[in-house]
């Protein structure tokens, strides 16, 4: 048990998220009187104090009543970050003192420093927008945010690669996300709101109708705006019948200006949903980018995580897609799957290298609250942070050999090893939607169950979220409400 006592502030959320980085899976309790600490377990005390001259944060850590570490940050008001508000500086100063203190006692390393958000590259974009040079940005990331050198350099490089695609910002551009939440089965690690085709297949026709209706209404709302990209995700879009998916794609072309769409992606995802006929339909409907996502090229792991396909199925689907003429194929992998070690990752990467996709997305396993894995993870062997880091290094080296460069990055809560997810691409083959969505520099309007629209306001550099419901029955019964939610914000 970890007990935390805060004095002089109430930034409980920020403190909890940072402490969780160092003590994965540990129970954390905030106490409001030091006497509540019984002398057993870990006790973290953070005190924020101020005088006329400076604001100070001091953190002390006790294990079984014995003082083991302490750290103080003085002159918090002089911390240099992007958007230099005093409140944000205070949060950073508190987190710096906690980070410095816990780094001395925890066996876990924290390469992302005090950052606990999922979009670290947004910070670099903001600093560049403020006119900071690369050296200044590196120093802020390394000194103030405590990022390891390689992570700071990585996100600076990715940001520089993105800017030619994202800028100049345009309030009148938007992307469309279309959610098709059906899947053949639910994977062990999955936390997305998805629906089994076996259980919910009878709703596909009605869902298709309601989804097309929402797309039609969105086109009315966005009149005068210019569509830039389309992403059809899920779920597994190719899990529904070809006829239904084709209707959805053609409705997009019907209600939006096709010539404005720079990129359309369909997550073919599961190889057990991919047929020659499905791929031919996608190609005939001008889908230029698809994902074929093995997650691993190890048959025993595929069986363990609940995917009803084999490595051979992945390879077969990939070659059919190439034969039909798809020029941009993405493949997703997950590092840290149960019972996998460095040898399994090497074997997976050797097979991926032979296929030579244009895009490769490497996820680090995240133990999400809504997944089966969260409930049953104690049954499985999960590798240490050191081994997870070695596995990611293997994927990075193979990506470099394949002439794939990192072009977007994000992090997740409860991600193993406090590491990251990275998208790699060959030069000129980057996924525009992934960059737009992750850096939140363009409006994204979402249709379908579980979709989240994000309205971007460039002048304030902020977004406003408009979520659709996550239940299939609720979506079908409340489609008009989902439309109205967006319409009221966009009018």
Q: What is the pLDDT of residue 12?
A: 97
Nearest to 179 by CA among 233, 129, 240, 222: 233
Q: Exposed, middle or buried by CB within 10 Å (0-12, 13-18, 19+), for 290?
A: buried
Tell me the whole-structure pTM to 2 decimals.
0.92
Q: Which CATH number fits domain 1-104: 1.10.287, 3.40.109, 2.70.70, 3.40.50?
A: 3.40.50
Q: What is the pLDDT of residue 189?
A: 56
Q: What is the pLDDT of residue 379?
A: 52
Q: What is the pLDDT of residue 375?
A: 47
DSSP, collapsed to helix, strand or coil, labels residue 407 as strand
Beta-carbon count within 10 A of 133 CB: 10
Say how far apart CA 381 and CA 363 lie, in whole Å: 18
Whole-angstrom Cα Rg for the chain: 24
Beta-carbon count within 10 A of 405 CB: 17
Q: What is the pLDDT of residue 338?
A: 84
Q: How many helices (H) and strands (E) does the chain have?
A: 17, 18
- Which residues lie closer than 8 Å to 310 by C-beta, 6 or more apart? 299, 302
Beta-carbon count within 10 A of 346 CB: 15
pLDDT along the chain (491 residues), means of 10: 95 95 88 92 96 94 96 95 89 97 92 92 95 96 97 98 95 96 72 79 96 97 96 93 98 96 92 94 97 93 85 95 96 90 95 98 74 49 76 96 97 77 97 96 96 93 94 96 93 73
Domain residue ranges in the chain = 1-104, 109-154, 173-485
| Superfamily classification of domain 173-485 | tm_1862 like domain (3.80.30.20)
Q: What is the pLDDT of residue 438?
A: 95
């Amino acid at each position: 048990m970890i007990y935390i006592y805060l004095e002089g502030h109430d930034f409980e959320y920020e403190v909890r998220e940072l402490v969780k980085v160092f003590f994965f899976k540990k129970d954390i309790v905030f106490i409001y009187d030091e006497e509540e600490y019984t002398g057993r377990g870990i006790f973290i005390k953070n005190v924020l104090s101020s005088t006329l001259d400076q604001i100070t944060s001091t953190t002390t850590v006790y294990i079984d009543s014995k003082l083991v570490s302490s750290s103080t940050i003085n002159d918090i008001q002089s911390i240099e970050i992007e958007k230099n508000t005093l409140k944000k500086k205070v949060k950073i100063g508190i987190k710096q003192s906690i980070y410095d203190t816990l780094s001395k006692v925890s066996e876990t390393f924290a390469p992302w420093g005090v950052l606990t958000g999922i979009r670290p590259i947004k910070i670099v974009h903001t600093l560049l927008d403020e006119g900071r040079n690369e050296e200044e940005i590196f120093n802020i990331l390394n000194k103030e945010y405590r990022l390891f050198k390689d992570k700071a350099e990585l996100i600076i490089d990715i940001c520089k690669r993105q800017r030619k695609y994202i800028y100049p910002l345009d309030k009148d551009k938007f992307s469309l996300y279309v959610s098709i939440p059906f899947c053949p089965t639910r994977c062990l690690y999955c936390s997305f709101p998805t629906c089994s085709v076996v259980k919910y297949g009878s709703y596909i026709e009605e869902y298709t109708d309601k989804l097309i209706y929402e797309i039609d209404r969105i086109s009315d709302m966005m009149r005068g705006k210019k569509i830039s990209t389309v992403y059809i995700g899920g779920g597994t879009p190719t899990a529904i019948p070809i006829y239904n998916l084709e209707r959805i794609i053609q409705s997009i072309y019907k209600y939006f200006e096709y010539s404005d769409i720079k990129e359309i992606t369909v997550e073919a995802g599961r190889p057990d949903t991919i047929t020659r006929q499905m791929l031919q339909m996608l190609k005939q409907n001008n889908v230029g980018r698809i994902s074929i996502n093995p997650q691993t090229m190890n048959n025993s792991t595929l069986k363990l995580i609940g995917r009803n396909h084999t490595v051979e199925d992945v390879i077969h689907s990939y070659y059919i897609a190439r034969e039909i003429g798809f020029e941009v194929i993405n493949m997703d992998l997950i590092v840290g799957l149960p019972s996998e070690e460095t040898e399994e990752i090497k074997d997976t990467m050797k097979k991926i290298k032979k296929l030579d996709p244009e895009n490769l997305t490497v996820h680090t396993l995240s133990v999400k609250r809504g997944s089966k894995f969260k409930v049953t993870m104690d049954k499985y062997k999960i590798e240490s942070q050191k081994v997870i880091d070695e596995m990611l290094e293997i994927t990075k080296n193979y990506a470099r050999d394949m002439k794939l460069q990192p072009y977007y990055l994000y992090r997740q809560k409860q991600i193993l090893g406090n590491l990251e997810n990275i998208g790699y691409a060959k030069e000129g083959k980057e996924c525009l939607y992934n960059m737009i969505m992750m850096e939140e520099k363009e409006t994204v309007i979402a249709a379908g169950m579980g979709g989240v629209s994000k309205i971007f306001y460039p002048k304030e550099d902020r977004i406003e979220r408009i979520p659709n419901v996550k239940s299939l029955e609720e979506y079908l019964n409340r489609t008009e409400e989902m439309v109205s939610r967006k319409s009221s914000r966009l009018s």
